[in-house]
Structure formats: structure tokens, C-alpha cells
A and B are shown apart, each in its own frame.
Chain A
Amino acid sequence: MKASPMVEIKNLKKWFPMKSGFKSKSNLKAVDGVDLHIYGGETLGLVGESGCGKTTIGRTLIKIYEPTDGEFLYRGGDSSEGGVDIFSLSESKMRPFRREIQMVFQDPYASLNPRITVHDIISEGLRVHSMGKSREERKSMIAGILEKVGLRPEYMYRYPHEFSGGQRQRIGIARSMILNPGLVICDEPVSALDVSVQAQVINLLEDLKHDFGLTYLFIAHDLAVVKHICDRISVMYLGRIVETAETDQLFDNPLHPYTSGLLSSIPVPNPHMRKIGKREIVKGDIPSPVDPPETCRFVKRCPRAFDRCCKESPSLREVSDGHFVSCFLYD
């Protein structure tokens, strides 16, 4: 698995220009120089608090947002060695990759058009990518995928409002999976669901990954969910990756102060298991991403900051095998 990664994201930037009256133009740097790589068949978790740019990464990767800078090298199933830079493709050349790379959205209530039936929702992708020769054939494909995601095939004639949140999310998943994708970007697919349903949907995603040989970029803020489903995890803070490691390694040996703060925020149910005094609470709020200074992004909230952190910005370095961290403590 450690061969060459299936997805390589280099120096991804997404800035939103802001107009602020008479002042000079400023930029909201939602994503500011992110490097990620995802191996084929794995699940990479992307975690971070609200507003750190996780969702922006997901949406930029499928070009709903136009990237400001960066490369997105994709080595799909049958494309030649070396991969394709998705960001450099024109919309027409991008088309096959719009099938290959799918997204599962966060809000199951907003992600299904309330005015068309489940059949029409799912068949749209099939029509766009000319899959299924006839209406009948598409129908039986839809029946198949609905069963696969745990819904009754006859539900295809219903409208989205007739379903619960969990069922709606299954419809959203079916819509993506029927296109037989390689990479699926899951943008907080369970955060809008209640806990019992979350587990079902997570299991469904794992089953589908196993059956169809998928690769996931799993965006989430719930660390328990991430720990369960992900092979590796990248921690994001204010538009940058601060640490990337395999799941066990990250949870056992977090290097970046932000990661350890994040991990110690997980509530421990058993009071005897709590490590008293070892909790590193991250104080304060996430600073504004509008024109942030060129220092370490975390310096204002970091319990272990020293003078170098205020002067320059650290870059992501591999400190041990497969463990990347962006912090001067490990320089």
C-alpha cells in the first residue's frame, strides 16, 4: 500500500477575495498551502474545528470552488502513470473525473432536490455519464444500488421529504456510488444525523468501500468517528495541515500541540481512566483567516510557543516514518 499515492495534493490554496470598503483588497485564506496524499484503498481523515477549511478543501477538489493555486494529481484506475492534474483540466476534459471523483454531502436535507423523485435524483449522474443504455436498464441499476445502500427498490418513486435523515443520507450515498467512483469525498456525512443512525451510515460506508474498492477522503470533526473509520488522519488548523499520521500513531503519540489539545478534548466516560493533569486545553477561539500573519498559525493559542513561532511559519516535515508535523518543536 505504501507504493505511490493515488491522490497527491500539493500546495492547495483557496482564497476568497473580500471587498472591504475603501481599504485595500484583503483575502480570506480558507485553505492556504495544503499538502495531502491519499493511497489507493485507504481512508484519510481530515479533522479540525469549525471554520478551519475542511469543507473548502472538499469543494475545491471537485472544482465547485475554483482553486487559487496548487496541484491535484490523480492516478485513477486506468489512467497512465504520472497522473493527471485535475486542476489544469478544462471543464470538458474534467468530465470523466466528475464521475471518478464523487462527493457525499453533509446535510441530507439540503443535498436532495425536494421537487424530483429519488429515481430522478439518482439517474441524473447516469444520464450525464451515459451509463445504462435504456430507461429500463437505468431503473434496474437504481433498484440495485438502493438495495445495496439498504433501501427498498420501490422507494425510487418517492420524493425526498418522505424519508428520514438517515434514509436521505443513504440516497445521497447511492447517488454517488452508482457512478462507480474511485475517490469519494465524504464531507461530514454523519454529523447531521443522530448517533444511532450515524453508526449505521458509517458501517454502510465501510461496507461499500470494501465491496467497491473505494478510497475515501473523510472530512469530519468527530474524533471518535474518525478514529473508527480512518487509516490515516490529517489534522487541519486555520487553512493548513499541522499533522498527518497513521490513526494509531496520531492517537498514541500526537506531536503537534494542537493535536494533543484536540485529543484531550475527547471526553473519557470512565472517571478512573482520565489522565488528571495531563489535559492540554486549547484556549480561545480560532483566529480570523482574513490575511493571517506569516507566523505559525497556532502561535496565539499554543501552550508551548516560543519566539521563533512568532517570526516564521513552519512547514510540514516528516519526523518519523509516515508521521508529518508542522511545528518548530521538532525542527
Chain B
Amino acid sequence: MPKFFYKRKLDEIEEKARPVHINSYRQLVWTKFKSHKLALFGAVVLIGVAFFTLLGPLFVEVGYEDMDFSNLFSPPLTEGHPFGTDELGHDVLVRVMYGGRISLFVGFASAVITTLIGTIVGLLSGFYGGIVDRLLMRFVDVMLSIPMFPILITLTLVFGSGIMNIILVLTVFGWMGVSRLVRGLVLSIRETEYVMSARAMGVRNGRIILRHVLPNVIPIVIVSATLNMSYAILAESSLSYLGLGIQPPMPSWGNMLQRAMNYILGTTTGTNPWWLTVFPGFFIFITVLNVNFLGDGLRDALDPKFVSES
């Protein structure tokens, strides 16, 4: 027991600190997040989109496969079809709702998994260095040099196309960027004096990584995770285009866009069905944009140094 140990009314100390500082970290983060108006807006919009896609289909009787043959290419606000119909008489509104489930799920799941894998690999590689670093980084190089599409085609031939396969492919080929990013940051954090101090006191490596290194890479990781989500939503659409993604008649925002491309210059009937691209495109746009707003707000809220101007 140190010689200077003496009892002091902790309550009294906490009373003095309470007005500003005693808030738990979680409260602090929440307070700051709330004051970030754009992030709050982003969160609200995303929750709205989620409700729209998850609960929306419960209120309509038409399924995404149902066709209305009397209304092909009917424009928005046609009776019974607020967003219009496509070349087969599918209701665009219904397909946007069902497609959103798939796009959001693919985007979210692959963003989370790639970020997780990339962060873990980057932390280990950067922190331990030496042979661990060399092995992991050469593996990253190998992964980056594998052409994605031939592998994809093979995989689809073997396993068939499906949501899980898309997520699998997007994560297997998507984590390397994050890992390089994190590794670079860890290399500099590893040499800081606060990490040295922890080492000098005998803190174990695992704890140093979790306590000192990880919190300092989190802001960058969050931003890259939001970018990954946008990327995954868009990548799914290009995979669908190659026939490797979500297959019609099942809709996703991506494959709706891709199919609409065939008619963008006008149809046999002479009209330009803009609603086929605008609606799924709009949803991709607001989702990606608001995910980025949300990520921005999270990054600021998690940084104790950041004090919002408001």
C-alpha cells in the first residue's frame, strides 16, 4: 500500500465534477451525437428507409412478382401504381420496398464484416510487426492481385447466386483496403509515448491493443465502414448486371437500375420510362448519403477532443 494512501470523501469529489465531467462515456457520446444535426438527420432518414423497406410490404397486397399486364410502362401516379410500372407490369413501389431489404442487408452485412476482418488483420499486423506483419501483408497483396470477376463467375457456377454468396464474395475481396489503412495507423500509434508507457508498466499486449490502439483507430475505421457500405450497395448492382448477383424476378435496387438501362433511351412505345431509374436510384442515393452523414457524426461523437460548435 503506498505511503500516500489516505481516505477522502469520493462523494465530495464527484459532486464537484458532476456538472460537466462525471457523465459516463456513453452519455458523453450520445450528448455529442445529438448536437451533430446532420448526423441526427442521417440517422432519422436511415431509420425511415429501414421502416419503409421492412414494414412497407405489409401494407400492400401486391407482391414483387405480380404483374399487371394492362399497365406496362405506366408512369407514376397511375391508378394503383404510385411509382409506375415496368416493362412486365411489376409495381415499382413494391419492388423498391422489397429491393431495399436486400440492398440494405447486403450493404450493411458486408460493410460490418469487411471492417471487422480488416481491422483485426490491420491491428495484428501493425502492432506485432515482424514476421506476422510480413505474412499478413503478403497475403493482402495476394488477395488484391486475384481478379475478382473470374472467381465470382466460378463461384456462382458452383454455388449458384444468392444473397449469402454475394456477401461472401464482397467480404472476401473487400477487407484488404481497411486492413492496410488500419495497419498504417497502428504503426504510428505503436510508437507513441502512451503505448510505451503502458508497456513500461507491464500492461499486456492484448490490453494495449484494445485500450490504447483500437480507440485511436476507430474514427478512421468508422468512416471507412460507411464508405464500404456505399460501395457494397453499388457493387451488388454491378454483380447483378453480370448475372452474378440477385436474380430477377427478385428485386434489388441495383438490379432494378440495371434492367432500366435497357429502356433509358426510350421504349418501343416511344416513351422514356424515367421512373424505372429515378426511384431505385433515389433510394440508393439517400441511403449512401445518410450513411456517410451518420458515420461523420459517430466519428466526432467518439472523439473526446471534439467539441461541437453549437
Contact = CB atoms under 8 A, between A and B. Distances in A.
B7 interface: yes
Nearest to A153: B13
Contacts of B22: 157
Given A95-B202, A141-B2, A111 B216 contact: no
Contacts, number: 108
B134 interface: no
Interface string B19-52: 0011000000000000000000000000000000
B216 A64 contact: no
B242 interface: no
A178 B2 contact: yes
A179 interface: yes
B10 A136 contact: yes
Nearest to B212: A113
B159 interface: no
Contacts of B16: 152, 154
Interface in A131-185: 131, 136, 139-141, 143-145, 147-148, 152-159, 161, 172, 175, 178-180
Contacts of B200: 62, 64, 98, 102-103
Nearest to B5: A141
B212 A153 contact: no
B10 A115 contact: no
A124 interface: yes
Contacts of B201: 98-99, 102, 124-125, 128-129, 179
B203 interface: yes
Contact of B194 (A95, A110, A128, A144): A110
B17 interface: yes
Contacts of B305: 114, 159, 161
B8 A59 contact: no
B3 interface: yes
B241 to A, nearest CB: 43
Contact of A159 (B1, B203, B211, B304): B304
Contacts of A172: 197
Report the contact-size class of chain B (Cβ under 8 Å from the partner): 20 to 34
A128 B8 contact: no
Contacts of B4: 144-145, 148, 211-212
Given A115-B304, A144-B5, A157-B21, A124 B193 contact: no
B198 interface: yes
Contacts of B13: 143, 153-154, 156
A99 B2 CA distance: 12
Contacts of A114: 216, 304-305
A143 B10 contact: yes
Contacts of A140: 5-8, 10
A216 interface: no
Given A140-B10, A148-B4, A175 B197 contact: yes
Given A105-B197, A114-B305, 10 more contacts: A107-B193, A110-B192, A111-B193, A114-B216, A124-B203, A129-B201, A144-B6, A145-B4, A154-B13, A212-B4
Closest 4 CB pairs of A and B: A98-B202, A154-B17, A111-B193, A157-B21
Interface of B: 1-8, 10, 13-14, 16-17, 21-22, 192-194, 196-203, 211-212, 215-216, 303-305
